[in-house]
Amino acid sequence: MTSSTSSKPGEYSRVQATHFTIPKSILLLFYVLFGLHIGFLLTGYVRYIYELRVINQVLLTVVLGGWLILRWRQGTGLPKTALTLPLLFLCFWWLVTALLAISPRIALERVGMGISMTILFFALLDLMRHRQQRKLIVEAVFMVTLVLAFITYAELIIHMFGLGIVADGQYSWLKYGLPQIDPPDIVLAQRSSNILAGLLVVMGTISIGWAMAAHRRGSRLLMAILALLLLFLLPWTNSRGGYIALGIALATLGLFWLWQQPIAARVPTHLRSGLLIALAVILVAGICGGILLIDSGRVVLWSTALQLAVTHPVTGIGYGGYGQGLVLLSGDVFIPFYHAHNLYLNSLSETGIVGLLLIAWAGVALIRTAIKHWQASSGADRIKLQAVIAALIAFAFHNLMDTLLAPSMSLLIAVLVAYVVVEPDPVLAEDN
């Protein structure tokens, strides 16, 4: 069923939207949020088992290819949003940089995953325009988060009692005390403590927002407990970026509250917006400046990214090619870094100025859409949207210190961006 109602620019087009009922899309939903997530984690742990990586990519390609074919047969294209055009241009540019890369084969393999994640984002847009399916997807994300939190707490227990199941797990913290010099990273749930920290901050922020929006006392208590359980794990990741991201998330929630107070309404909107932009610039400069002063390792990685960008200013060294460029500049074939520990410098070095400008275009489109939907929302819907926006802002700042591009993390961010972009169709919601 489709509606003849036309959409405004930047909004999801109802005319070109495929009507997915829950029974037809439930398999895609569970594959995306459970099977796909597990596949991403497994391929991260066993990155050298080529066959497993191929199986996961083939499954993803078949599912998304089937979705695209179904839309084509029904005469619809990709969902129409403010992000559609910049994302399509970005995918095209990724292909261009891959073909011009030092190692085109490796670059094309990595581009395949990037393009797959982009198509997956469009599939999520199609699913989440239905309120019931939107609710299902968010609940499934919380379920995945609970599983990952359970795994992380289990890893802490292993270290605490010295059960020896994981690396360095034979050292009992209860018996000998916490390691003072080099405490082990808690990485079992995400293979990287930085990625785990990003997940904890993002989902902790979402849990806080859902607790604030809940009408029932029991629901508020449940979501508040979940937020505490997630954020309690953050110190065990030893991630400075995670701490900064959490501070940004909480500050953003506070600014949302302050913005809606009567005293703030006396200040002209343009002045308030200008102050927020100035604050963001100061925070970015302060974070980057602080890291340059205290973290010599990141200074080397960032300077390498800038050197690669100067050498290849337009196209970069090729999608996913930072690690190769670092090896070429350093001469050390055993260097363990595959990214610049800064998403924006990493993108500049790999896809050039054009790639970075396309990312900025997509970012501006997302910000404008978020503002429009926030202004149109109210009550519990607005509180939840504020939490999602705060989580995405925290993620953006976290990427000043890390490159959180692991597929499992990208999947979560795709869900949150879709949540911000999609405006659920009330007519289709009632039909389902």
Q: Does residue 33 register a pLDDT over 80?
A: no
How confident is the model over 150-177, as a mean pLDDT?
A: 71
Residue 397 confidence class, pLDDT cut points 50, 70, 90: very high
pLDDT number for residue 228: 96
Q: How many residues does the chain have?
A: 432
14 in Cβ contact with 425 (< 8 Å): yes
How confident is the model over 105-114, as a mean pLDDT?
A: 86
Q: Model pTM?
A: 0.84
Q: Which residues contact 103 (CB under 8 A, 6 or more apart)?
A: 318, 321, 324
Q: Is the dihedral of CA 341, 118, 86, 138 positive or negative?
A: negative
d(CA 205, CA 1): 36
Collapsing DSSP states into helix, strand and coil, what is residue 191? coil
94 in Cβ contact with 114 (< 8 Å): yes
Name the least confident of 90-104, 179-193, 259-273, 407-421.
179-193
In this structure, the number of other CB atoms found within 10 A of the CB of residue 76 comes to: 18
Name the least confident of 13-17, 46-50, 187-191, 411-415.
13-17
pLDDT number for residue 190: 78
pLDDT number for residue 9: 44
pLDDT number for residue 366: 96
Share of the chain above pLDDT 70, in %: 78
Angle at alpha carbon of residue 126, lines to 120 and 132, rounded to 5°:
115
d(CA 213, CA 256): 14
How confident is the model over 90-108, as a mean pLDDT?
A: 91
Q: Does residue 308 register a pLDDT over 50?
A: yes
pLDDT number for residue 11: 45
Average pLDDT, the chain: 80
Q: Does residue 23 register a pLDDT over 50?
A: no
